[in-house]
A and B are shown apart, each in its own frame.
Chain A
Amino acid sequence: QGQLVESGGGVVQPGKSLRLSCAASGFSFSSYAMHWVRQAPGKGLEWVAVISNDGSTKYYADSVKGRFTISRDKSKNTLYVQMNSLRTEDTAVYYCAKGYSGSYYPSNYWGQGTLVTVSS
């Protein structure tokens, strides 16, 4: 099964940085790709980034490429996203999600989300 718990959200000024964490438990963390997906207030889902199970491969949405960095720590069973040069349009609830077995698709295991507000 599994559980994912995000943390690190908050209010940050434009141009600043923030790092989100996603603590995983209940499954073999190092066996699955992991995703970040976000949802701006009142808007649809926007996929942000994915990292392979071993951390060697990463893909990003064009909207965050060069500003966000996804990473993982297998010793801590934790997924991260480092968000730099934040913009007001990055304001959203950020979800982490476990990858669907053997693929780069989000599965049925998502965290509860953490809200990031970029505002001056």
Chain B
Amino acid sequence: QSVLTQPPSASGTPGQRVAISCSGSSSNIGTNYVFWYQQFPGTAPKLLISTNDQRPSGVPDRFSGSKSGTSASLAISGLRSEDEADYYCGAWDGSLRHFVFGPGTRVTVL
């Protein structure tokens, strides 16, 4: 049972906007950065968003991150078929004294 909560699935049609939530607490999201990772089946995860809302080089600007209080959100605008993947939020938890991943959200393009 993760201390971060994500919906198990999200979906949209090509071109739509999809948002994935990540809910935590004051010991993790509330006081520390949120990172987002994208993973395709059988491959290693890829960093999608760092420090709440920063896109690493090479990540399309269709992906955006935000944080407010103890929750964060990843938005994918202009959804494409190649965005079908699992998305994980992650944050340092000061009470647990370790990093935690959310359970992951599978995005499906209808």
Whether the pair A104, B44 counts as a contact (CB closer than 8 A) is: no
Whether the pair B100, A47 counts as a contact (CB closer than 8 A) is: yes
Whether the pair A45, B98 counts as a contact (CB closer than 8 A) is: no
Whether the pair A113, B44 counts as a contact (CB closer than 8 A) is: yes
Inter-chain CA distance A87–B64, complex, in Å, is: 39
Whether the pair B96, A62 counts as a contact (CB closer than 8 A) is: yes
Distance in angstroms from A94 CB to nearest chain B CB is 11
Within 8 A of A (CB), among B66-110: 86, 88, 90, 92, 96-104
| Interface residues contributed by chain B, number (CB under 8 Å) | 24
Q: Counting CB contacts under 8 A, is B62 at the interface?
A: no
Q: Counting CB contacts under 8 A, is B47 at the interface?
A: yes
Inter-chain CA distance A112–B50, complex, in Å, is: 21
| Interface residues contributed by chain A, number (CB under 8 Å) | 23
- What string of 1s and 0s marks CB contacts (under 8 Å) between A49-67 and chain B? 0100000000111100000
Whether the pair B46, A105 counts as a contact (CB closer than 8 A) is: no
Whether the pair B99, A112 counts as a contact (CB closer than 8 A) is: no
Inter-chain CA distance A111–B43, complex, in Å, is: 10
Q: Which of B33, B44, B50, B97 contacts A111 (CB 8 A)?
A: B44
Q: Counting CB contacts under 8 A, is A26 at the interface?
A: no
For A45, what are the chain B residues with a Cβ–Cβ distance below 8 Å?
37, 39, 45, 88, 90, 101, 104
Extra pairs beyond A44-B103, A45-B39, A46-B101 (6, CB < 8 Å): A44-B2, A44-B102, A47-B98, A47-B101, A103-B92, A106-B37
> Residues of A at under 8 Å CB distance from B?
35, 37, 44-47, 50, 59-62, 95, 100, 103-108, 110-113
> Residues of B at under 8 Å CB distance from A?
2, 33, 35, 37, 39, 44-47, 50, 56, 86, 88, 90, 92, 96-104
A-B contact pairs, 12 of them (CB 8 A): A37-B45, A44-B2, A45-B101, A47-B98, A47-B101, A59-B99, A62-B96, A95-B44, A105-B99, A106-B37, A108-B47, A110-B46
